[in-house]
Amino acid sequence: MGGMETTGGNQLIRDPGTAAAFARALHETPGDFIGRDPVPVLSFEPGASLRDRREAFGAVYGAIVARTGEPTLHGGSARGPDIRWRDPRRTVLLSGAGTWALLSVHDTDLLEAAERRSFDWGGAWSPAEPHDVGLLPYLWRLDRSGPGEPPADYPTGRPVAGLDHFASALELLLAAWVEQLPVQVGDDWAAFTLTSSADRGRRFHLSYARGDGLLVSVDDRDGGDSPERGDLMRSRGWHSHDRGWWQAEFPDPDRPHTAEAARTVLAELYARGTSAPSQLRVRDASCRDRGTLLLPGLGVRT
């Protein structure tokens, strides 16, 4: 196939148009390709920023959508995007794998059964173990009733083992949104609310959109606005105070900012008495109120 070169045991498709033609072939004649290794269609620069990764991926994704049509399912993992053209028979998968973006086609039942096992049995079993949220098949999934047929249900994932693991999962999810959402949904925002049974009535709100950046806030309307209160909240990582809500804003976020946002939420949870992820709940997850947004990578109740 023109436009390819050998890299190790695989062939890298360097031209977006050729990648789009290959995606169309996977979509129309999957039997010729099921069982074969994924084919790289993009090589990311090692250490590239989230902005650079999404800009590089956008050219390939745009060409594939122009040739094959909108996907059935949007989404992404800690390793890159996870986008699917799915029906009950076959799933064409455009996925990130660290420094690569890959195209492949799979038997739908076999792929989803293997992924369900990863969600059901993967992850640390105690807070003392290192978390492995980054190895999950995907952290977020968006179903906007695109062409094809979505699954009847989705894995929920096993709960994270400790609050530090939750903070790591949150950091990975926010970084994935910054890298992946603008390419897949343009300027649409994604957001959710976080609550804790240890501090009933308190709400955290987390959102990201390309035009607005990353915003994390907490309801502190019962905390007053004294200078001492301001010093305390800033010591936990909050930036500004507006009508009873403390906020941390990152207009052009990259990995250090998603890590800071997660640390700020964790510090506030600890300070207000939360001691275990079983006390947490994610509510009102949405991507501009269009479709169903799932966040299995967070490892807490929804």
Express each pLDDT in 140-185 by its tens digit.
Answer: 999 999 999 999 999 987 889 999 999 999 999 999 999 999 999 9
Burial per residue of 37-60, b for 16 or more beta-carbon CB atoms within 10 angstroms, e otherwise: ebbbbbebeeeeebeebbebbeeb
- pLDDT per residue over 5-59, tens digit each? 333 356 899 999 999 999 999 999 999 999 999 999 999 999 999 999 999 999 9
Angle at 91 between CA 89 and CA 93, to 5 degrees: 170
The reported pLDDT for the residue numbered 43 is 95
Note whether residue 136 is domain-resident: no
- Is the pLDDT at 3 greater than 80? The verdict is no
138 found inside a domain: no
Is residue 82 within 8 A of residue 7, CB to CB? The reply is: no
Q: How far apart are CA 135 and CA 132, in angstroms?
A: 6
Q: What are phi and psi of 94, to 5 degrees?
A: -110, 110
Q: In terms of residue numbers, what domain contains 268?
A: 163-298
Q: How far, CA to CA in Å, does 107 sit from each of 36, 63, 89, 166, 193?
A: 11, 24, 6, 32, 36
pTM of the model: 0.94
| Domain contains 118 | yes
Q: For residues 31 and 246, what is the distance between their CA atoms, to the nearest angstrom?
A: 54
Domain end call among 68, 92, 123: 123
SS3 233: helix
What does the pLDDT read at residue 4?
A: 36
149 is a domain residue: no
- Taking the C-alpha atoms of residue 134 and residue 131, their distance in angstroms, rounded to an integer, is 8
pLDDT at 260 over 60: yes
**132 is a domain residue:** no
Q: Are residues 205 and 105 in the same domain?
A: no
Domain count, the chain: 2
